């Protein structure tokens, strides 16, 4: 392979996103709850759930930061740090 060759990644065909009209607008996602199973955890609300993650300090920190970055359609945070 030459050094200036670019290999394009294959596009993954997943399930299409639901139409925006079908999303539950204006409702709180509910309080997050953490489910623990052995050395892994996931965060669940009434509207979504994370994948199972290894229970490490880094994954815990990243999950808290990610949840804090979620905002509603008005730009207000969905979760507070206290939740």
Specify the pLDDT at position 82.
64
Residues near 37 by beta carbon (within 8 Å), at least 6 away in sequence: 52
Specify the pLDDT at position 47.
82
How far apart (Å, rounded) are the C-alpha atoms in residues 42 and 37?
9
Specify the pLDDT at position 19.
46
What is the pLDDT tens value at each position of the chain, 83 positions in all? 455 555 554 544 444 444 444 444 445 567 888 999 999 999 998 888 899 999 999 999 999 898 889 888 888 888 876 65
Side-chain half-sphere CA neighbours of 44 within 13 A: 7
Strand (E) or helix (H) holding 54? strand 53-54
Specify the pLDDT at position 58.
95
Specify the pLDDT at position 17.
44
CA-based angle 14:32:20, to the nearest 5? 40
């Amino acid at each position: 392979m030459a050094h200036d060759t670019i290999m394009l990644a294959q596009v993954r065909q997943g399930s299409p996103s639901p139409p925006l009209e079908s999303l539950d607008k204006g409702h709180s996602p509910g309080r997050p709850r953490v489910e623990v199973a052995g050395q892994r955890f996931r965060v669940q609300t009434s509207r979504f759930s994370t994948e199972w993650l290894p229970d490490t300090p880094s994954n815990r920190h990243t999950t808290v930061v990610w949840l804090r970055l979620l905002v509603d359609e008005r730009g207000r945070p969905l979760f507070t740090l206290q939740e």
